[in-house]
Amino acid sequence: MCGIIGILGKADVAPMLLTTLKRLEYRGYDSAGVVVINDGSMQTRRAVGKLEALEMALKAAPLQGNSGIGHTRWATHGAPTEANAHPHRAGKVAVVHNGIIENFQPLREELLAKGHQFASETDSEVVAHLVMRAMDQGQSPAQAVASTLARLEGAFALAFLFDGEDDLMIGARRGSPLAIGHGEGEMYLGSDAMALAPVTSRITYLEEGDWVVLTRNSQQIYDALGNGVSRPEVMVNVDAMQVDKGNHRHFMTKEIFEQPSVMALALSHYLSPDHSQIHVPGGAPDFTRFDRLVLVACGTAYYACHVAKYWFEQMARIPVEIDVASEFRYRAPPIGRRDMVIVVSQSGETADTLAALHYVKGKAGQVVAIINATESSIAREADLALPIKAGVEVSVASSKAFTCQLTVFAALAILAARQRGELDAAGEKAQIAKLVHTPRLLDEALKAEPQMAAAARELAKARDILFLGRGPLYPLALEGALKLKELSYIHAEGYASGELKHGPIALIDERVPVICFAPVDALFDKTVSNMQEVMARGGKVLLVSDAKGIARAGKGTWAQLEMPECDPFIAPIIYAIPAQLLAYHTATEKGTDVDQPRNLAKSVTVE
């Protein structure tokens, strides 16, 4: 992962390196650093921890100079220490790196045998040494970078500066994104357009295998074969990229409470003005062309796919396969022209999901991306990119992106059902009418926050917590467990209610809270039976249901959380609220870092 930035500027760059790095902190936040060229020579500041630590280091010992590179890290090779923080230097070369150099070990051994000494345990440092070695042998910086790139295996975005070269910066990408930003007599490099938003909206995206030699007034881009190429400059809408917490204590609650309004926005994007039809701006996919849908994503986005599988199969009667992207690509499943592949990603930069997209391109009949970051690699590389309209999601744990992904999937499932003759015009309208109620019902669900906070005070004492759900609420149980784990660091698992008796029930005793998502639907009585099995073994059940469900099955449970009554179709969207808020309040009760939980990053750009 990691975020990288580079600036050839007209004034001191250290403050702007910090500002732009702040916008990349979602990529990693365990250490950070900058190199700035002052009077021709490079100076470094690095610090362990979030960017505030680097800010303090720069306050204590400011750096002056108009050229610099910076990095915020999510550790892969080597612990988050100052020595392992980027930039890494070797002789006249400084480098920042996002990705993994897979053959770093043999390269490092080769360099050690030749007398090189390493200051860190990282894979990245070998890159600086290889470039330095090539320069020592007489190559120019550009030649040295080119010969080094040829030796690297794995994924990377790199930015280089060189001692004594105040007007030169070199960037390269393979497998990890990198963009050039154009200013007036200034030039920038950044992991994404959002980082560059404070300085420019004029962006050139490097393509796979590209590398670029930049000065303040020129750029020369080369492709992987070393041919000079030109890539288009595009204008990026940077206004939409400004973010703050509003009146909320955390981005996480702000984003949870934004869900009714962003969902309404997503709905208005995909519905005709009279709410009679699904309308996909820019051209609807044609589901009659396909025999199968293959849905691929990671983490929370994968659970959105899991819910969508129920919707597409039940409503549109089309077979759906789902997989997590990291498994999908290596299992190399057969994909043909009658398959539509839908990849889902909030960030649009998740390396596993991007690799899955690369795997299916050219094989599948159509590759659709359901995406939040519309300027991302996945959005640009898919045949069709459908925005979820959630707005910038800052908190590392996904919340509003999940419900907006579900919204887009719900619209597509209705569309598919209509196109495939499973719904007539009246049926389409009736399903849309259910969806249109969702923002109001989300609002109602949010009103149960005080009860969720009270339940969380108990949950925070637990060591293990189980989540149960049936049908499309099963993925919600998985999502609830994921949210709780990542925010509160309490071990949690989600199970299909009916599966519990096949093993996991052995975990049940009075110390293990069991959270049961059970709206009154066709499977309600079955879920209640599974809940009874838990209570019969001393298990402590938190029943999350509507008023009718609580009246029917609340007796004997440890606590109840009342959700608004809703049609079973939209229940997975509504029950996202308790999945998120129970985790949020358990985490605040425990005092963990809600917006930036330990060991995580918002955009996972390594495999």
- Residues carrying an active site annotation: 2, 602
Binding piece for ligand F6R, criterion CB under 6 A, among 144-152, 181-189, 297-305, 512-520: 297-305
**Cβ-Cβ contacts under 8 Å for 60 (sequence gap 6 or more):** none
Radius of gyration of the chain (CA): 26
Binding piece for ligand F6R, criterion CB under 6 A, among 51-59, 216-224, 339-347, 457-465: 339-347
Q: Decide: is 576 part of the binding site for ligand F6R (CB under 6 A).
A: no
When binding is defined by CB under 6 A, the residue of 298, 414, 500, 508 that contacts ligand F6R is 298
Q: Are strands 559-562 and 540-545 parallel, antiparallel or unpaired?
A: parallel
**CB nearer ligand F6R, residue 63 or residue 305:** 305
Q: Decide: is 345 part of the binding site for ligand F6R (CB under 6 A).
A: yes
Q: Decide: is 385 part of the binding site for ligand F6R (CB under 6 A).
A: no
Q: How far is the CB of 595 from ligand F6R (least distance, A)?
A: 12
Decide if 202 contacts 233 (C-beta within 8 A).
yes
When binding is defined by CB under 6 A, the residue of 66, 76, 84, 350 that contacts ligand F6R is 350
Q: 39 exposed, middle or buried (CB, 10 Å; 0-12, 13-18, 19+)?
A: exposed
Q: Decide: is 57 part of the binding site for ligand F6R (CB under 6 A).
A: no
H or E segment at 108?
A: helix 104-113
Q: Decide: is 398 part of the binding site for ligand F6R (CB under 6 A).
A: yes
Closest residue to ligand F6R using C-beta atoms: 299
Q: Decide: is 252 part of the binding site for ligand F6R (CB under 6 A).
A: no
Q: Decide: is 353 part of the binding site for ligand F6R (CB under 6 A).
A: yes
DSSP state of 548: H
How is the chain split among helix, strand and coil, in percent rounded to 5?
A: 40, 25, 35
Q: Which two tokens stand for residue 376?
A: 């991302």
Decide if 223 contacts 149 (C-beta within 8 A).
no
User: In the stretch 486-525, what mask flags binding to ligand F6R with x, by CB under 6 A?
Assistant: x---------------------------------------
Q: Decide: is 347 part of the binding site for ligand F6R (CB under 6 A).
A: yes
Decide if 116 contacts 133 (C-beta within 8 A).
yes
For the residues of 343-390, what is the DSSP string, one character each? EEESSS--HHHHHHHHHHTTTSSEEEEEES-TTSHHHHHSSEEEE---
Separation of alpha carbons 220 and 599, rounded Å: 37
For 234, phi then psi, to 5°, come to: -125, 155
Number of residues that bind ligand F6R (CB under 6 A): 15
Max Cα separation, the chain?
Answer: 81
When binding is defined by CB under 6 A, the residue of 141, 299, 439, 568 that contacts ligand F6R is 299
Q: Decide: is 605 part of the binding site for ligand F6R (CB under 6 A).
A: no
Q: How far is the CB of 545 from ligand F6R (least distance, A)?
A: 24
User: In the stretch 454-483, what mask flags binding to ligand F6R with x, by CB under 6 A?
Assistant: ----------------------------x-
Binding piece for ligand F6R, criterion CB under 6 A, among 14-22, 92-100, 294-302, 531-539: 294-302
Q: Decide: is 346 part of the binding site for ligand F6R (CB under 6 A).
A: yes
Q: For residue 465, what are the β-bridge partners?
A: 492
Q: Decide: is 301 part of the binding site for ligand F6R (CB under 6 A).
A: yes
Distance of CA 101 to the CA centre of its chain: 22
71-99 burial string, b = 16+ CB within 10 Å, else e?
bbbbbbebebeebbbbbbbbebbbbbbbb
Closest to 203 measured CA to CA, from 391, 384, 377, 14: 377
**CB nearer ligand F6R, residue 98 or residue 603:** 603
Q: How far is the CB of 464 from ligand F6R (least distance, A)?
A: 19
Q: Decide: is 407 part of the binding site for ligand F6R (CB under 6 A).
A: no
Q: How far is the CB of 482 from ligand F6R (least distance, A)?
A: 6
**CB nearer ligand F6R, residue 347 or residue 497:** 347
Q: How far is the CB of 218 from ligand F6R (least distance, A)?
A: 34
Given the rule CB under 6 A, which residues bind ligand F6R? 298-301, 345-347, 350, 353, 397-398, 482, 486, 603-604
